[in-house]
């Protein structure tokens, strides 16, 4: 499918299902194995402490070019269903129901396996400030005490910070 047409199709379907109004973005990606990704990311501004959430549907340029209109359309709907159902549902019943409702084929699970639900907690190094991990749950105290930054070394053991990105 032509990229310009694919872009227009994606935008119109995202508009129809309320994603554009909900602040979702459409982006092209360069992945060759993954056709579409539905992702929600929380980024915390270290200076202001404010958390911003970005919701994105990303489509592979290469795969959009290689596939037929019907396949591209189905991939877009597949990702829209993830956005509507909530990314944490993966390919479960809730997601399948959403697929049926919006006309996506729930059986077709082309290699889009990585759906990244929002990770709430961030493990950061107080010394180099790198984000070392994004997690869905708080790390256990006993693990946190033994963890250290692989860039800064064992001196940082027990000093890593677990921050809740949902907290203001
Ligand atoms: Zn999927
Ligand atoms: Zn470090």
Give the pLDDT of residue 79: 94
List, in order of start, the domains of the chain with CATH numbers.
3-102 (3.30.2010.10), 121-164 (no CATH)
Give the pLDDT of residue 88: 86
pTM passes above 0.85: no
Q: How much distance in Å is there from the Cα of 145 to the middle of ligand 2?
A: 15
Q: How much distance in Å is there from the Cα of 111 to the middle of ligand 1?
A: 8
Q: How far apart are CA 106 and CA 112, in angstroms?
A: 13
Give the pLDDT of residue 111: 42
Q: How much distance in Å is there from the Cα of 151 to the middle of ligand 2?
A: 5
Q: How much distance in Å is there from the Cα of 99 to the middle of ligand 2?
A: 43
Q: How much distance in Å is there from the Cα of 154 to the middle of ligand 2?
A: 10
Q: How much distance in Å is there from the Cα of 89 to the middle of ligand 1?
A: 10
Give the pLDDT of residue 108: 60
Q: What string of DSSP letters covers the chain?
A: --HHHHHHHHHHHHHHTTTTTTT-EEEEE--SS--EEEEEEEEE-TTT--EEEEEEEEEEHHHHHHS-HHHHHHHHHHHHHHHHH-GGGTTSHHHHHHHHHHT--TT---S----BPPP-EEEE-TTT--EEEEESSPPPHHHHHH--BTTTBGGGTT--EEEETT--
Give the pLDDT of residue 118: 56
Give the pLDDT of residue 113: 39
Q: Which residues surround ligand 1, an ion (CB under 5 A)?
A: 112
Give the pLDDT of residue 105: 82
Averages of pLDDT over runs of 10 residues in the chain (168 residues) are 94 97 93 80 87 91 85 92 91 93 77 49 87 81 89 92 76
Q: How much distance in Å is there from the Cα of 44 to the middle of ligand 2?
A: 18
């Amino acid at each position: 499918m032509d990229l310009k047409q694919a872009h227009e199709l994606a935008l119109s379907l995202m508009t129809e299902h309320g994603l554009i109004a909900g602040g979702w973005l459409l982006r092209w990606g360069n992945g060759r194995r993954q056709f579409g990704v539905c992702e929600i990311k929380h980024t915390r501004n270290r200076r202001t402490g404010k958390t911003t959430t970005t919701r994105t549907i990303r489509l592979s340029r290469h795969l959009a070019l290689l596939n037929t209109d019907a396949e591209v359309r189905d991939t877009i709907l597949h990702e829209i269903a993830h956005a509507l159902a909530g990314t944490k549902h993966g390919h479960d019943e809730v997601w399948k129901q959403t697929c049926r409702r919006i006309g996506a084929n729930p059986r077709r699970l082309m290699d889009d396996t990585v759906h990244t639900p929002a990770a709430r907690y961030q493990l950061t190094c107080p010394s180099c400030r790198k984000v070392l991990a994004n997690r869905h749950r708080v790390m256990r105290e006993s693990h946190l005490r033994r963890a250290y930054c692989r860039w800064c070394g064992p001196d940082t053991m027990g000093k890593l910070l677990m921050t809740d990105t949902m907290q203001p």
